[in-house]
């Protein structure tokens, strides 16, 4: 008897732990990546959708399936997952709102066209939109979801921690400082917090990230590409339900396709 009750209370404890970790994972990707202070490569964002086929060039039919129209918006219109709780008219409106988020979410790099060998210079990444509360930005070597590598693999070095300027214009250090200083904070990926776009009001957050890069020691043309990770559904009240504990729960759910990954074109910097 004793053993039985011991077992059943262990089972109860297990259930509690599983429930707690489920709650944690709800805030893991919707909510950005609060915990990975490292170089992030776009292949990780399997659930996210693309805006064009080019970012999966060479992947055949799969490239078409990854585009938001098919991977995400079609599931909204087909009333899959939580979308079925909306009326048809509301599903149409949700699609219109999500398209507005995509149309107003952008990433752009500012950099000198030419630098000297070994020179340290600034690259400013400007991002707009993203539903929030978080967006992610990475520097990579090519605009490809499966084949991109970190920008450092082609010879750029990151010097010091990136400076993150949030939508309110203030520098943010909380996310990057989670990485212990002794590990080096000179990474190619950041989360920006405090993002809040509103597809109904048509207001879009703007942030910027400044990386100090050191040029390679050999003359040449080197690629530099920005990758942008953002969500769409939390930008419209039709896209989520407010949960008393977990906050905004998106209709597409955690495994849905409402995230995006998009790229800048392949920029090249001339190292002389």
Q: Which residues bind ligand HEC (CB under 6 A)?
A: 29-33, 40, 44-48, 131, 133-136, 229-234, 250, 252, 254-256, 258-259
Q: How far is the CB of 43 from ligand HEC (least distance, A)?
A: 8
Neighbours of 217 (CB within 10 A): 9
Minimum CB separation of residue 191 from ligand HEC in Å reads: 6
Min. distance of Cβ 194 from ligand HEC in angstroms? 12
Question: Using an 8 Å Cβ cutoff, are 225 and 125 in contact?
Answer: no
Residue 21 φ/ψ region, left for φ over 0, alpha for ψ in the -120 to 50 degree band, beta for the rest: alpha
Is the CB of 49 or the CB of 269 nearer to ligand HEC? 49
Burial readout 36-71 (b: 16 or more C-beta within 10 A, e: otherwise): bbebbbbebbebbbbbeeebbeebeeebeebbbeeb
Show the tokens assigned to 182: 């002794």
> CB-wise, 264 or 271, nearer to ligand HEC?
264
Query: Nearest-5° angle of CA 166, CA 171, CA 173?
Result: 105
Work out how close the CB of 34 gets to ligand HEC at its nearest, in angstroms, rounded to a whole number.
10
Nearest to ligand HEC of 68, 215 (CB atom):
68
Residue 92 beta carbon to ligand HEC: minimum distance, rounded to whole angstroms: 18
By the 8 A CB rule, do 124 and 110 touch?
yes
Burial class (CB in 10 A: 0-12, 13-18, 19+), 230: buried
Is 204 in contact with 197 (CB distance < 8 Å)?
A: yes
Closest-approach residue to ligand HEC (CB) = 231
Nearer Cβ to ligand HEC, position 187 or 215?
187
| Rounded least distance, CB 87 to ligand HEC, Å | 20
Give 244: exposed, middle or buried? Use CB within 10 Å, 0-12, 13-18, 19+. Answer: exposed
Question: Which is nearer to ligand HEC, 36 or 121 (by Cβ)?
Answer: 36
Residue 199 or 271 having the CB closest to ligand HEC: 199
What's the min distance (Å) between Cβ of 15 and ligand HEC?
22
If the CB atoms of residues 155 and 166 are measured against ligand HEC, the closer one turns out to be: 166
d(CA 107, CA 173): 21
């Amino acid at each position: 008897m004793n053993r039985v009750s011991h077992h059943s209370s262990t089972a109860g404890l297990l259930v509690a732990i599983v429930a707690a970790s489920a709650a944690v994972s709800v805030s893991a990707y919707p909510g950005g990546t609060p915990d990975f202070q490292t170089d992030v490569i776009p292949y990780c964002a399997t659930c996210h959708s693309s805006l064009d086929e080019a970012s999966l060039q060479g992947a055949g039919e799969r490239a078409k399936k990854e585009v938001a129209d098919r991977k995400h918006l079609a599931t909204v219109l087909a009333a899959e997952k939580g979308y079925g709780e909306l009326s048809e008219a509301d599903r149409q409106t949700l699609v219109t709102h999500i398209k507005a988020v995509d149309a107003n979410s952008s990433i752009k790099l500012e950099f000198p066209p030419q630098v000297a060998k070994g020179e340290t210079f600034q690259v400013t990444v400007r991002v707009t939109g993203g539903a929030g509360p978080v967006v992610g930005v990475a520097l990579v070597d090519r605009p490809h979801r499966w084949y991109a590598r970190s920008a450092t693999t082609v010879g750029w070095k990151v010097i010091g921690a990136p400076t993150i300027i949030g939508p309110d214009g203030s520098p943010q250090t909380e996310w990057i400082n989670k990485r212990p200083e002794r590990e080096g904070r000179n990474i190619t990926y950041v989360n920006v917090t405090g993002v809040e776009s509103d597809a109904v009001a048509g207001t879009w957050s703007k942030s910027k990230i400044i990386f100090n890069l050191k040029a390679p020691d050999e003359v040449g043309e080197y690629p530099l590409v920005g990758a942008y990770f953002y969500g769409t559904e939390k930008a419209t009240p039709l896209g989520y339900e407010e949960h008393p504990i977990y906050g905004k729960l998106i209709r597409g759910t955690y495994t849905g396709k409402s995230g995006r990954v998009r790229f800048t074109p392949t920029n090249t910097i001339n190292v002389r």
